Amino acid sequence: MLRRLLQPFWVLLAIIFLIEAWLWDHLEPIVARVVAAIPLRALKHWLAAQIDTLSPPLTLVVFVVPPVLLFPLKLVALWLLTHHHFMGGAATVLFAKFVGLGVTAFVFDVTRPKLLQMAWFARLYQAVLSLRARASELVEPVKQRVLDVVRGNGDRWSSRFWRLILRFRKSVQEAR
């Protein structure tokens, strides 16, 4: 019984995790293009050379610094949201999320070899990769069901529901 009650929570958590993973995957090529467009390549080589001189625990500090520096921006977004500036707050949250993920992807790419030298970090990294695979497995049936409903290929209930939505949409368009 408890498992059935918690299943929507786990699916939602898996969806959030996969959205984060999707953003990470899709921002990495964008960051690579930005690095190619502006002279960040030299910065990346310089940063890699500096990190080579650091111990793995100090490299962890380098990896943690960018999210810490973006935290005040998230506080600004929270302030905007609490003062009913919803569009500005949402835009600030999205900006902070994209910049944070992009910078973290950039820094992680440079620091990964040193970070993986720490046994606990390597285990954590493998656990996150395993959790990501498990989240994909958990969300896949839900995603497939949603796609079936959207395409109208689902069972009779979902097909009727989709036809009802299409009929409602058509009536709204005709009313214009």
Taking only the tens place, the pLDDT of each residue in 51-69 is 889 899 999 998 888 888 8
Residues 41, 1, single domain; the answer is: yes
Residues 87, 172, single domain; the answer is: no
Question: Given this model, what pLDDT does residue 122 score?
Answer: 95
Domain count, the chain: 2
Residues 150, 132, single domain; the answer is: yes
Q: Are 139 and 18 in contact (CB under 8 A)?
A: yes
Is the pTM higher than 0.85? The answer reads no
Residues 19, 105, single domain; the answer is: yes
Reduce the secondary structure of the chain to three states and give it as a string. Answer: CHHHHHHHHHHHHHHHHHHHHHHHHHHHHHHHHHHHHCCHHHHHHHHHHHHHCCCHHHHHHHHHHHHHHHHHHHHHHHHHHHCCCHHHHHHHHHHHHHHHHHHHHHHHHHHHHHHCCCHHHHHHHHHHHHHHHHHHHHHHHHHHHHHHHHHCCCCHHHHHHHHHHHHHHHHHHHHC
Residues 66, 151, single domain; the answer is: no
Q: What is the mean pLDDT of residues 4-23?
A: 77
Residues 74, 148, single domain; the answer is: no
117 compared with 22, residue with greater pLDDT: 117
Which residue, among 136, 113, 105, has the nearest Cα to 24 in the 3D structure? 105
Question: Given this model, what pLDDT does residue 147 score?
Answer: 74
Residues 10, 87, single domain; the answer is: yes
Residues 83, 50, single domain; the answer is: yes
Q: For residue 106, is pLDDT > 90? A: no
Question: Given this model, what pLDDT does residue 135 score?
Answer: 79
Q: What is the mean pLDDT of residues 153-165?
A: 68
Q: What is the mean pLDDT of residues 24-51?
A: 75
Q: For residue 38, is pLDDT > 80? A: no
Q: Which residue range is the domain that position 24 belongs to? A: 1-117
Residues 67, 147, single domain; the answer is: no
Question: Given this model, what pLDDT does residue 119 score?
Answer: 95
